[in-house]
Each structure stands twice: as C-alpha cells, then as structure tokens.
Amino acid sequence: MLCRYLLLCFLGGVSASAQPVLWTGTFTNANWFNDWFNAGAPKKGVAFGSNNIARVVDASAPGGSYLRITYPAGSYAPSGAPPAPVGGTQFYGAVLHTNGNSPHDALTLQYSLRFPSNYNFVIGGKLPGLYGGTGNTGTDYPTGTDGFTTRFMWRQDGAGEAYPFLPNSPTIYGTSLGRGNWFFTGDNQWHALRQDVVLNDVGLSNGLIRVFYDGVNVLEAPGLYFRSVTNLQIDGVLFQTFFGGGDTSYATPVTTHADFANFTVSELTETGNLSGLSNYQAIVSAQSPNVYFRFDNSLADSVVPTIVFTSIGSGGYANDYFNNPNRSRFFTATGDALTVTNDLFAGGGTSSSSASGKGSLTFLFRSLDGTNNTGQRFLFSQGNTTANGNAFGLFFENDTSASPNSLKLRTGNTTTTILQPEQILLDRWYYFAVTWDETRNAGEVKWWLAPLGGPAISGSVNVTDTSVIGDNGTVYVGNNSGLNNAFRNPGMGRIDEFATWNRELSGTEVTNQFNSFIVVIPPPPRLSISLNSSNVLISWPTNSTPGLLLESNALLTSSNWSFAGAASLVGTQFVVTNSLSGSTRFYRLNNP
C-alpha cells in the first residue's frame, strides 16, 4: 500500500498540518489566478463563468480573502447554456507542477466554504476536488490511463457526497460515495471540507477516499480503482462548481452564491488509517456486542476487560486491513492459537430438541497465500464434532477431503461449503458474519461472506432440530481443540475484530458493518480477438478488473492452460500479440 501522501488544505476550523507546505493559494493576491499554475493544466483558462468570479478581501475570512462564485437564477450545468444562463465556474490548477513540486500518488484536499443563509440546494451541485491526468468530467469516461477527478457534490437538502470519476464508475457520470453521511448547511458560516485521496497500486483495487467535514470523519471509502498505469498521478485541483446535473430540474430558482477560501498543499507521511478502523469499530460497538475483541495490540475484550484470550504458540500482532500496525492477530505455526474458557456463544451445550439459543458472530480475516492445504486450517472452533450435534467452527478444508481446500462452516450436526477454492482470493481481507436461532425449524443458521473490495455472498444452513451451536466449552481462535490445525501455511493467517452477540443481528445490521468498507468493483472484462497479418491480437479494456493474465489452451476442456504472453498498453486496451499457429487455440483471462 502507498505510504507517500500530500496534504492539500483550505483551512477553516481545522488545525494546519505540521508537515512542510508545498503550495498555497489564499486569494490575497489580486493576480491570484497565476498562483494556480493553470498554464500546466490539461485545460487552459477559465472554462466558463469568468464573470461569476469575484475576489473579496475580508480579514475575518480564512486566509484573509475568498472567492465568491455566483449562480444566476435558472442556471445549471454548463451544457444547458444557452438558453440557460451560465452559472458557477471551472478552472484547473496544476499545483503539483509548480514551485519545484511533482505529481503524487496521494493527496489530501481541504477547503473552507460558506453557503449563504437559507441557501436552496435544489437537487444537486458540484464542488471542487482533485484531478489527475486529463481531469475527466462530464461524460468523458476514464479509461484507467487518461485521468480522473474526485469532486464533491451537494444533493437535495444539502446532503454531501464524494463524486469521483473512476474507470469503473457505474455510469458515465461518476460514482456516488457516502451520500447523506454529512450535510452542508446554508447558515452563512465557514465550514471545513477535507478529502484524502490515495491512488491504487497498479493491479490492485486498494485506493482510498476519506472525507472530513468540520474535522469529523464522515466517510471512509477504501478498495477504489483509479488507474491501471503508474504514471497517472494526482496533478492538482479542479475548481468546479455549478448547479447540476444536466437538466432544468437542477436549476437554481434564484440568483445565489457560495464562498471558497484558503487553499494549501502540504506533504504528509502515513502508515495507516486509524479513522477507517475507528469507523468500523464504532458501528460494531453501537450494536452492543456482548464481547468484542479488537486485537488492537491487546487480547482483552473491549466490553468486559476481564475476559482475556490466552496466547498459545508463536503468534503475534500484525497490520490490519487499514494498514495500521499491531491491530490484528496473526498465526504462523501449527500449534498457534488464542483460547478462552468463557463461553462466548449464546446457546449451545448438549444437543437438545428444546434448545433456545440465539446469537451472532462477526469478524475479519485475511486469507492465506495459497489454497493447497495439507491439513485443515481453522479460523475458530468451539466443539469440533458434528456427530455430537454441537459443532461450531469455520475452516479451510484439507486437500484430500470432500470439497478439498474449500472454506467450510461447521454448525450443529452439519458442515457446509460456503466458498470453493477457485473462488478464494489469496492474501485478501474478508468480512464474515454468522447468526443463529436454535428455535427455528429450518434455516437455523444464516451466514454472510465478502472480500473487502468485492461483492458479498450469503446463505442459510438447516441443522437437525436437536442440534445446537457450540459445546459451551473452550473457544479457539486461529485453531481447533487439537491445536494442530492453525490458520497458517502457506503464509500467515490474520484475524481481527472478533465480536459476538447474545441475539441475532438483523440483515441490516450486518450490511451496515460491511458497508463501512465502501468499495467499488471494476467492470467484468470483455475479451476481443482480431487478426493483423500473420498475428492474432487479443485485447481487453484497461478499466476491467486489475491483475488479469491472458492464458491459452489447445482444448477447451483441458486444464492445461498456459500463459499467453505479456500485455502491452495500446490506448485504452491491454493487447497481447500471438503468431498464428495453424491450429485451434482457446483464450481466457485469469485473475491468479
């Protein structure tokens, strides 16, 4: 994960970064536009609305001056003018190309803005954000190699959202993130809006947008996909604002304005994202778990601190999903485990037709480096024998049993395969939830599973009417009672945020937990084949799922697929060139 950051601030109610300042734009200079280094931007000059810009000197404003941007009555997106009047304005500032600076892979944008009293937000409008490359907006759909933008929007009643243009945005108009997590207000007061943007590593969907409003963390959106090439970076700030949307339903009914102040860019180095972790932990805690082991450099329960896991073997602490150090638990040796004699799971015990327990368990885990397991790999266990009708555990199967190397859930008298080995993403953080009601006659157990950065799957399990969940004995995390099937090899397994409830979580509560890891999924690839003289050209779009490899086979039914060649970047396509062989070849894209 990237660790070089920048901090771009429009300060208003938030303390300044102590990091070295790279650029400032406070509008105190009458020739303020020169400070934005527009000459180095992808689009030169003020694109529209130059008559709507007024510089106001005001010692009480953040930075001592501000821009007042006017939106005439009836104005909306610039595509509507004429006949609609032009409202708002747009210009690019290539601020990372001046004062000896250079483009970066991460940046934080923060600014002060002020809406007048009783401001009518109608149904939406744009606000400044960051840009890279060509700074795509409108219907200029990004390819992963040309550009992106990360503007804000206000929506009806002032609902705020981040509105990036990404290569995998669900429409040509962009991606909505966190709508309604905060609200802009028409109160004639200055408010601070901050946006942290971290670009993805090429081949991964691990980018991030994080938002603060008046210093409060209101949005965490990891798992984002901005680019497919390393030379696409953050270049500067897109100052764009107007009512819209591209039709008259967005138009402001009266002439109005908004004020913007005090831009700066500072360098910053981070190793993790504590606010992202705090956001997830706050959601779990708000649902009142009976026990909640956060594993933040501690084995104690955060709800009842006297309940403490005992560590067996050589495990320890590692980085969590957000890359915060010492905030998850890892396992590396066969006998590694965490154990506690407290019964953490409601219900359970001896199998009984009168069982009445109801409960829930949620946690995060990072998958191993491979799926060829010489033995079972347990994530947790309490009662490991289905013959007794009181088993409870989650584990990766060995390579010799039925459904080898799959992920299995063991409940009561039943073992259920919930993920086949070919579906398992390696070295990937997952979210898992399971709830149960021993009084139900069918579907007593419900489960959810999702990679953080991918879609969720779910299902239910029928157990016999006498089955119960767990044996009320010792709980093992990272192993089972035999202490010979630790969650490790290949690589080290990690487990984090282990929480249980003495009630069933609702589907909405589970969704709220998972949705704190806001993700956007790249579109599925479309493979194209064409002829060029004596060569066959196989291509797919750069905005598809990253990390794909082209493979070929002489027989469609054969498992002998082989690497078909390295891809070259040609425009918006990855292209592999193969010589015509005179025999039939089949091609596929594989995400190894």
Per-residue pLDDT tens digits for 198-228: 888 787 777 888 888 988 778 877 778 899 9
DSSP-derived 3-state class of residue 421: helix
Q: What pLDDT is stored for residue 573 in this prediction?
A: 80
Would you give the distance in Å from CA 429 to the centre of its chain? Answer: 11
Closest Cα partner for 129 from 114, 146, 107, 144?
107
Helix (H) or strand (E) holding 67: strand 65-71
Burial class (CB in 10 A: 0-12, 13-18, 19+), 557: exposed
pLDDT at 73: 97
C-alpha pair distances (Å), 180 with each of 140, 257, 338: 26, 22, 40
Instruction: Please give the pLDDT value at position 178.
Output: 86
Average pLDDT, consecutive stretches of 10 residues, N- to C-terminus, the chain (592 residues): 32 38 86 93 95 97 96 94 94 91 87 96 96 91 93 95 91 86 94 88 78 83 86 94 93 98 74 66 93 95 94 92 85 96 95 94 92 91 91 94 93 95 85 97 95 84 95 96 93 95 96 75 72 89 70 84 84 85 83 60
Query: At CA 228, angle to CA 238 and CA 537, rounded to 5?
Result: 130
pLDDT for the residue 373: 86
Question: Which two tokens mark 235?
Answer: 């270049």
Pairwise CA distance, residues 455 & 519, whole Å: 9
Cα–Cα distances in Å, from 90 out to 158, 196, 214, 527?
A: 21, 21, 25, 38
Residue 101 CA, chain-centre distance (Å), reads 29
SS3 content of the chain, % helix, strand, coil (to 5): 10, 40, 50
Tokens (6 digits) for 369: 């480096």
Output the pLDDT for position 103: 92
Q: Which domains does the chain have, with CATH numbers?
A: 4-269 (2.60.120.200), 278-515 (2.60.120.200), 528-590 (2.60.40)
C-alpha 69/C-alpha 67 separation (Å) is 6
Question: Pick from 28, 212, 36, 21: which is nearest to 111 by CA?
Answer: 212
Phi, then psi, of 124 in degrees rounded to 5: 160, 155
Work out the angle at residue 69's Cα, subtended by the Cα atoms of residues 67 and 75, and round it to the nearest 5 degrees: 170
pTM recorded for the entire structure: 0.55
User: In the structure, how many helices (H) and strands (E) does the chain have?
Assistant: 2, 37
